[in-house]
Structure 1
Amino acid sequence: MMVFICYTRCTTCQKAKKWLEEKGITFEVRDIKGDNPTLEELRQWHAASGLPLKRFFNTSGQQYKALNLKDRLATMSEDEQFALLASDGMLVKRPILVDKDFVRVGFKEEEWASLM
């Protein structure tokens, strides 16, 4: 079953959830704040997504800005970036849609539609 990882107060996550429901897609909801992705999950999702690791960071989040990650990410190792993401779900870009065949980070309707 697909897993929809989201933050319930995020409007983009709400829009994505509504889109999935309107398409009749079955999924399990996982709250990113209460059930933070593990280091192992993040590594698996990153590999499956084909995206640069930077795309897994919630660049518009307060925590990202408070930690000055815009300037710091370039000097951090991949292991340090994964550890940071695993330390706080609010640093992770959302929503994330995970299935056995794909991982999508962030909601772009045209990207998600191509999966269905």
Structure 2
Amino acid sequence: MLTMYGIPNCDTIKKAKKWLETQGIEYQFHDYRKDGIDEGMVSQFCQKFGWEAVLNKRGTTYRQLSDEQKNTLNEQSAQALLIEQPAMIKRPILLSDSVSLIGFKAAEYEAHLS
């Protein structure tokens, strides 16, 4: 089963959901806020994509970090922040046994899911 990870009010999540629904692709949605997130999930995301790719540097939560926090980020500190502040995880993350995608690009979804 394909699982989409994210937060429901995110515009990128809405676009990705709409694309999947238009294509008739079934998925389940994992809401970080309702369903939670733990160290194992964050570690899995970082192993699959690299912690720099998982960390959403465009979001408000990241921009509110102090310069010291941003300048001293490493894999360990980033993972701790991602668990504490799941809004800093790039969205959406799509996982199944055969699919690992991060972010939303229609062409990428088309290539991997059609």
| Counterpart contact for 1:37–1:89, Cα < 8 Å | yes
Measure the CA separation in 2 of the matches of 1:90 and 1:36. 12
Partner of 2:55: 57
Measure the CA separation in 1 of the matches of 2:103 and 2:11. 12
TM-score (norm 2): 0.85
Partner of 2:84: 87
Indicate how the Cα distance of structure 1 residues 24 and 61 shifts in structure 2: closer, same or farther if over 3 A, else same.
Answer: same
Structure with more of its chain in helix, by fraction: 2
Partner of 1:11: 11
Q: How big is the shift at 1:3?
A: 0.7
Partner of 2:106: 109
Which string of whole-angstrom CA distances, capped at 9 and with x for unpartnered residues, describes residues 12-61 of structure 1? 1101001001111111111123334322112212223xx33111122222
Structure 1 residue identity aligned to 2:65: L
Measure the CA separation in 1 of the matches of 2:34 and 2:66. 24
Structure 1 residue identity aligned to 2:57: T
Q: How big is the shift at 1:109?
A: 1.1
- The SS at the match of 1:16 is helix
Aligned length: 113
Identity, in percent, stands at 29
Partner of 1:77: 74
Measure the CA separation in 1 of the matches of 2:50 and 2:44. 13
Indicate how the Cα distance of structure 1 residues 101 and 90 shifts in structure 2: closer, same or farther if over 3 A, else same.
Answer: same
Partner of 2:33: 33
TM-score (norm 1): 0.84
What runs of 5+ residues in structure 1 fail to find an aligned partner? none
Partner of 2:22: 22
| Counterpart contact for 1:36–1:86, Cα < 8 Å | no
